[in-house]
Structure 1
Amino acid sequence: MLYLAAALIALLGIAHSVLGERYILTRLFKRDNLPQLLGGTAFTMQTLRFAWHITTVAWFGIACLLLLLAENKLTPNSALLTIAWTSLISGLLPLISTKGKHLSWIFFFAVSLILFWTAA
């Protein structure tokens, strides 16, 4: 059952990103009344995009935890590493998509570094 749960949450993440990008974000970005942050709408759109897709990253992290649990390999160390990788990938999204202007990447990287350090 844990394998099924992991597969379902991973599929949910994929569907969330693909369908959200196609049916929500692209339509939203065609509007002419988006807030203009940091001088324009580009930052607003990139923030909305990474915030949308970061949910999928989190769900993949949960799926990995469920797989570790199913394999009876979930240990404090494996949980720390899974969350560290999830945080690292989560930090890459705002760093790349907003060219570092959205500062959440600093916190994601800090969490990731702390967890990698703790797991070592």
Structure 2
Amino acid sequence: MNIYLFLAGMLCLLLGIAHSIIGERNIFSSKRTKGNIVPTQAGTYITEKHLQIIWVVWHFVSVFIFFIGGIVLNISLNKNKYYQDSNEFIIQAILLTLTATSILILLGTKGKHPVWIAFLIIISLLLIGM
């Protein structure tokens, strides 16, 4: 087992779960009518349809990072030489994706959203584990 890849995968799983829970609690819970899963109470500057697509994309990001974690965990547990080249390619693709995402979040929020730091930690673990 590759402990660095394992830790990176676990952090991705935790990040995906935290992202959904925190978003629901801090952003979407006040925009939902009783009994509805999808928020419908839009504000002055956003329509109901836009709010709903933001909700969908928010959870898409959570699912995406969750499954990235699953892929990394699988690679960390099954270091098979037969799949070495493809595993390396997959980790490199994940590294590039998370690096670009971290930079976008850092620039887009002027460093105020802390997830870019979490991505840097995951990126570091992936680099060490390669």
TM-score, normalization: structure 2? Answer: 0.47
Higher RCO, Cα 8 Å, sep 6+: 2
TM-score by length of 1: 0.50
